[in-house]
């Protein structure tokens, strides 16, 4: 039996007595999946992975995504193409210089977001492993979008039900003044429709579905859409909905991208190495399809 120790009452828990670097028993996997239905963030301390064993564990949860950096012809990948490189190192393990494109792109992780909501079929969950961490700073914060949904006033719930937002990675990057996308990327990153509120099939709970990637809401004037998105993100990231994770080397943290947002916190990235590798599992279908909403072509 694994142990599941709540960190917060219904959002984050720590899981012990399991070695994820080895093939998992059917029972242990079922226990983890059941804990992951209740808690949207699970912390597994002391996990030793290489890239292959991290990927093998992640594949238990579904098909894996390919890193967005693969789109870019001039980018040399440091890691396996199924791992997102969210640290501050280049292909030779040196600290990225302050003007490096990969660093500037990854600064978008400092904005509240959920992974891959800019893909038609977005992420189900993300699995981030800490290989090396700075001595101070660099926490990751997580917001519970199920609890945030539950706490919304009824008129707001009604206002967002059935609404569709458009998400693009270029929207979140533009918020930091980053616009260095080539033609292939612009095509690949065209906005995609996502519901604003969704029901999770496993727990049956409702959740907001938000990210800094969201820029417009279909059928709503732009100013009103931006105001609403901003208000919803502010609502959902109040302290009572947030768990802040202070990393230890060899932590694996997995989160449910369907019902959380997260952001990376600042650290001295010109001084300390932070090597963090993320495997990401795709969801089963577009969110509009899951919610039974017909999407007109734009
Ligand atoms: C991610 C991410 C933030 C961080 O891995 O998807 O946004 O703290 N990470 O590294
Ligand atoms: Mn992320």
pLDDT digits (tens, 9 = 90+) for 176-201: 999 999 999 999 999 999 999 999 99
pLDDT in tens, 200-238: 999 999 999 999 999 999 999 999 999 999 999 999 999
What single string gives the DSSP state of each residue in 94-112? PBPPTT-HHHHHHGGGGS-
Check whether domain 3-290 has CATH 3.30.70.270, yes or no = no
**Which is the closest atom of ligand 1 to the Cα of 126?**
6
Query: Using CA positions, which residue lies closest to atom 10 of ligand 1?
Result: 264
Which ligand gives the minimal distance to the CA of 141?
1
Q: The tokens of 110 are what?
A: 């400092």
Cβ-contact 287, 198 below 8 angstroms: yes
What's the pLDDT score for residue 298?
60
Quote the mean pLDDT of the chain.
97
Span from the CA of 231 to the centroid of ligand 2 (angstroms)? 21
pLDDT in tens, 267-294: 999 999 999 999 999 999 999 999 999 8
Cα separation of the two ends of the chain: 50
What's the pLDDT score for residue 166?
98
What's the pLDDT score for residue 72?
85
Higher-pLDDT residue of 294, 136: 136
Domains of the chain, by residue range, sit at: 3-290
Give the whole-angstrom CA distance, residue 8 versus residue 243.
8
What's the pLDDT score for residue 144?
99
Which ligand gives the minimal distance to the CA of 213?
2
Q: What percent of the chain has pLDDT over 70?
A: 99
Query: Using CA positions, which residue lies closest to atom 4 of ligand 1?
Result: 264
* Predicted confidence (pLDDT) at residue 17 exceeds the cutoff of 80: yes
pLDDT in tens, 25-42: 999 999 999 999 999 999
**Binding pocket residue ranges, ligand 1, CB within 6 Å:** 86, 109, 115, 126, 128, 140, 262, 264, 276, 278
pLDDT in tens, 137-149: 999 999 999 999 9
pLDDT in tens, 40-60: 999 999 999 999 999 999 999
**Which is the closest atom of ligand 1 to the Cα of 139?**
8
**What is the average pLDDT across 8-14?**
97
Span from the CA of 255 to the centroid of ligand 2 (angstroms)? 10
Q: The tokens of 226 are what?
A: 């931006």
* Predicted confidence (pLDDT) at residue 88 exceeds the cutoff of 70: yes
What's the pLDDT score for residue 85?
97
pLDDT in tens, 160-169: 999 999 999 9
Give the whole-angstrom CA distance, residue 110 versus residue 44.
23
Regarding beta strands 197-199 and 206-208, do their DSSP bridges make them parallel or antiparallel, or are they unpaired?
Answer: antiparallel
Per-residue confidence at 157, pLDDT binned at 50, 70, 90? very high
**Which is the closest atom of ligand 1 to the Cα of 276?**
10
* Predicted confidence (pLDDT) at residue 297 exceeds the cutoff of 90: no
Cβ-contact 167, 118 below 8 angstroms: yes
pLDDT in tens, 58-72: 999 999 999 999 988
Per-residue confidence at 296, pLDDT binned at 50, 70, 90? confident
C-alpha distances in Å from residue 154, one per residue of 117, 209, 217: 25, 17, 20
């Amino acid at each position: 039996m694994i142990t599941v120790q709540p960190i917060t009452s219904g959002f984050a828990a720590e899981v012990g007595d399991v070695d994820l670097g080895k093939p998992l028993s059917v029972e242990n996997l079922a226990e983890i999946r059941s804990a992951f239905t209740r808690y949207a963030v699970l912390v597994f301390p002391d996990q030793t992975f290489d890239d292959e064993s991290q990927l093998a564990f992640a594949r238990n949860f579904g098909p894996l995504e390919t890193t967005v950096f693969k789109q870019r012809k001039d980018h040399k990948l440091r890691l396996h193409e199924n791992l997102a490189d969210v640290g501050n190192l280049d292909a030779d393990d040196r600290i990225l210089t302050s003007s490096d494109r990969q660093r500037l792109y990854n600064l978008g992780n400092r904005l509240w977001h959920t992974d891959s909501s800019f893909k038609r079929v977005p992420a189900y969950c993300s699995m981030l492993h800490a290989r090396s961490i700075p001595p101070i700073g660099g926490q990751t914060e997580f917001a519970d979008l199920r609890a945030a949904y539950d706490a919304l006033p009824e008129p707001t719930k009604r206002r967002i039900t059935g609404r569709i937002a458009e998400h693009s990675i270029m929207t979140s990057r533009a918020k930091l003044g980053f616009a260095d996308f080539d033609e292939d990327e612009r095509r690949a990153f065209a906005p995609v429709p996502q519901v604003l509120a969704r029901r999770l099939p496993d727990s049956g709970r409702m959740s907001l579905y938000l990210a800094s990637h969201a820029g417009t809401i279909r059928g709503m004037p732009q100013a009103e859409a931006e105001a609403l998105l901003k208000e919803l993100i502010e609502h959902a990231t109040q302290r009572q909905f947030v768990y802040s994770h202070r990393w230890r080397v060899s932590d694996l943290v997995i989160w449910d991208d369907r019902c959380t947002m997260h952001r990376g916190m600042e650290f001295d990235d010109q001084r300390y190495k932070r090597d963090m590798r993320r495997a990401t599992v795709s969801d089963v279908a577009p969110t509009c399809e899951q919610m039974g909403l017909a999407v007109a072509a734009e």
